[in-house]
Amino acid sequence: MNQPARILVVDDTPSNVKLLADVLTARGYAVLTAVNGPEALAVTERDAPDLVLLDVMMPGMSGYDVCRKIRENPATAMLPVVMVTALDPTQERTKGIEAGADDFLTKPIHQPEILARVRSLLRIKALHDELTDLNRMLEARVTEQVAQLERLSRLKRFFSPALAEAIVSGGADDPLKSHRREIVVVFLDLRGFTAFAETAEPEELMGVLREYHAAMGQAIIAHEGTLERFTGDGMMVFFNDPVPVPNPQERAIRMALTMRETVAALVTRWQKLGHDLDFGVGLAQGYATIGAIGFEGRWDYGAIGTVTNLAARLCGEARPGQILISRRLHSAVEALVETEPAGELTLKGFAKPVTAFNVLRARTPR
């Protein structure tokens, strides 16, 4: 139910106050009263009236002084004020407008006129209040959207644009909190890059890296992988985090195949320029602890666990053009790809030899 509009009647003559209060109360308005300027300002600040009927001639502080004080206060600067006087209306009207009054009435009060003026000014105030609320809501939305854009920009450092937008819109939990999940990890790097970097001109080196990063980035985004890091020629990508995805093993293996095919074309061109480079990949499946790693001002998104070490070691063992996968991952993708045993590999950090498989090609659908 809407509350009645509050009207403050200010007059040092009790009979005038009672007359106006009775007229306004009969029309359903809530009436506040004050008998002098300081009291009027105190009531205005405390009770927030919707309109003020303000007598001009009062002892100590005139109605004009009160009106000026009301206008000086940002909280009441737009409060409707109607000046009421028995003096010469021609001269007093000008003074009232200069003081900031919205309207002017002369005594004796004509009831239909004052009610019409009150209704008109209250309509204007209601529209102003509505506009103020809309502006406040707009400012809040803009502030919220700016915060979302800042968060989106931050998340895009770690995730694909689509995934970052899903996180910001609430379609995924906050991934930067530490959590544990089963993932598929892919490590890849260029073979011969260290020797190439020692002899190549800086422009050649950066040109190769730009081509390589751009091609690998397209494959990562297309398969909805999460780029954990890249250091020069090396990259680590994982699947099934921060948002679980269907068939992370299939996505990972198909991305690796796409990357090998793409790099093969780049290698052919690089070799024509005299650059002896190639490509190797290692993949593994397992549980890892994942979340933000770093310190204030420099955060990275990282995965820690045996699975990341295994993928990295397999990548290190891969010969040019090879994609080596762990036994566990092989069990999940053997229907998708043709493989051959790569033997029992002795890997740094692993007490026992590790069974690995070399991915030859994707199987042809039957």
Average pLDDT by stretches of 10, the chain with 366 residues: 84 88 90 92 92 89 91 90 78 79 80 84 82 83 77 65 64 68 95 90 92 93 86 90 88 96 94 92 95 70 90 95 96 95 94 96 83
Burial 67-100 (b: 16+ CB within 10 A, else e): bebbbeeeebeebbbbbbbeeeeeebbebbeebb
User: Which two three-digit tokens encode residue 209?
Assistant: 């890296």
Identify the pLDDT of residue 100. Answer: 87
User: Which two three-digit tokens encode residue 73?
Assistant: 């206060």
The sheet with strand 81-85 has its strands ordered as: 30-34, 6-10, 51-55, 81-85, 103-106
Tokens 């053009």 appear where?
Answer: 321
Identify the pLDDT of residue 126. Answer: 80
Identify the pLDDT of residue 103. Answer: 84
Identify the pLDDT of residue 153. Answer: 73
Q: How is domain 173-362 classified at the CATH fold level?
A: Alpha-Beta Plaits (3.30.70)
Same fold, 6-134 and 173-362: no
80 neighbors 125 (Cβ within 8 angstroms): yes
- Domain 6-134 carries which CATH code? 3.40.50.2300
For the chain, the domains span 6-134, 173-362
User: Which two three-digit tokens encode residue 301?
Assistant: 């998104």
Identify the pLDDT of residue 168. Answer: 66
- Rounded Cα gap, residues 16 and 11, in angstroms: 7
